[in-house]
A and B are shown apart, each in its own frame.
Chain A
Amino acid sequence: MKITLGTVTHPGGSRVNKTGSWRTASKPRFNHQACVACDVCALVCPEGCIFGTGQNTYYANEDYCKGCGICAEVCPVHDIEMIPEAGEDG
């Protein structure tokens, strides 16, 4: 780690923190069936880790997703589900 004087750092340098390892219980699954591309999930994600450009293209970057579940809660068509971290069988 290179130490600089003061706290002058690279913009957006926090991206080296893979906060996805914080998830303990569940992660979002985007079903890609009823999506209407309203963009609300991407808008309200506190991590800003949901991306998508049109219907049924949205996904969460699991490197950063902390599994809070807000996206599943706000989705107007209930197309996002929280599934156990270990996967469907876990």
Chain B
Amino acid sequence: MVKVEERDKFNDHLLASGHTACPGCGQSLAARLVLRAAGRNVMVVNSTGCLEVFSSKYPESAWEVPWIHSLFENTSAVAAGIEAALKITGQLDRVRVIAQGGDGSTADIGLGAISGMLERGHDVLYICYDNEAYMNTGIQRSGSTPYYARTTTSPPGKVSRGNWRPKKDVPQIALAHGIPYVAVASVGYPMDLDRKVRKALSIRGPKYVQIHVPCPLGWGTAPERTIDFARLAVLTGLYPLYEVENGELRALKIPKKVPVEEYLKEQVRFRHLFGKEDRKKEIAEIQGIADQNIEKFGLIVK
């Protein structure tokens, strides 16, 4: 049927070419890197979202591993069911289960089911691709949207300054369940992401990994600068990369503090902060969040 022209030993193409993501999509890159780390012996449960839509245009599928999509909110419930079935048939040693979704399904819609899965101790790796809004349906704000970002449901104007609530800290919510492994990664650091996914899959029990994925369409950034913006988010301290293994925290250190303006000024979603009247107060508030992260996670070696 389809001529598979190039197969490779590094599992680089378990998410096949020809998917219909936008050029420069951070999420398609992250999904490919996750599968590269996970290998062929996985079952993937996907929630509704961009990833599901662009990878499974009927009648095609970009996935080369078993893949199931159910309703928006019950990704983790389906994954928990698959894990239970594998356990009862004694096959859990051979197959790992990955549940994945965007930030909307993780922070808002599916949070209850995720909490249940983590609390019951299923051997599932949950991966959240955090692009900081509901990009698939046209950039609505989600619980994971950062301070003062423009979305279609938090438009900036005379009264509004964009999203007026802080970003929901889902990794800390996952951590509060006392699970063995929680990590935050970014597509800007592909080998760090690779290592965290491999490490998570080597651990038994519920795991949570959150990956920061720039969205050129929703953020209003140039497609070729996806990796740049992912790295800037980390270097400014706005998106600290850390992992917590059995209560022990390790953070990826940053060489020196980059001012948040560097990250904000070239994104359309923050453009209203740099208009005619400079919004110094708002930028200072965002800088405050970054400074707090740097302090909290010890990102800069003193």
| Chain B positions 1 through 38: 1 when the CB is less than 8 Å from some CB of chain A, otherwise 0 | 11111101000110111111111111011001100000
Given A14-B19, A42-B12, A48-B16, A4 and B32 contact (CB-CB distance below 8 Å): no
Complex formed: what's the CA distance from A42 to B144 in Å? 30
**A-B CB contacts (within 8 Å), total count:** 128
- In the assembled complex, B55 has its CB within 8 A of some CB on chain A: yes
- In the assembled complex, B282 has its CB within 8 A of some CB on chain A: no
Q: How many residues of A contact B (CB 8 A)?
A: 38
Query: DSSP class of B's interface residues: helix, strand, loop or mixed?
Result: loop
Given A46-B32, A48-B17, A14 and B57 contact (CB-CB distance below 8 Å): yes
The answer to whether B15 and A43 touch across the interface, beta carbons within 8 angstroms, is no
Contacts of B56 in A (CB 8 A): 7, 9
The answer to whether A46 and B25 touch across the interface, beta carbons within 8 angstroms, is yes
**Interface range on chain B (Cβ under 8 Å from partner):** 35 or more
The answer to whether A68 and B24 touch across the interface, beta carbons within 8 angstroms, is yes
The answer to whether B228 and A14 touch across the interface, beta carbons within 8 angstroms, is no
Query: Which residue of chain B has its CB nearest to the CB of A69?
Result: B224
Given A12-B16, A14-B17, A46-B25, A70 and B223 contact (CB-CB distance below 8 Å): yes
Residue of A19, A51, A69, A74 near B223 (CB, 8 A) is A69
Could you list which residues of chain B lie within 8 angstroms of chain A, going by C-beta atoms?
A: 1-6, 8, 12-13, 15-26, 28-29, 32-33, 55-65, 187, 190, 216, 222-228
Of the A-B pairs whose beta carbons lie under 8 Å apart in the complex, a sample of 18, sorted by A's number, is A11-B65, A12-B62, A12-B63, A13-B1, A13-B2, A22-B23, A43-B190, A44-B187, A47-B17, A49-B17, A61-B17, A66-B24, A68-B224, A68-B226, A69-B222, A69-B223, A70-B29, A70-B224
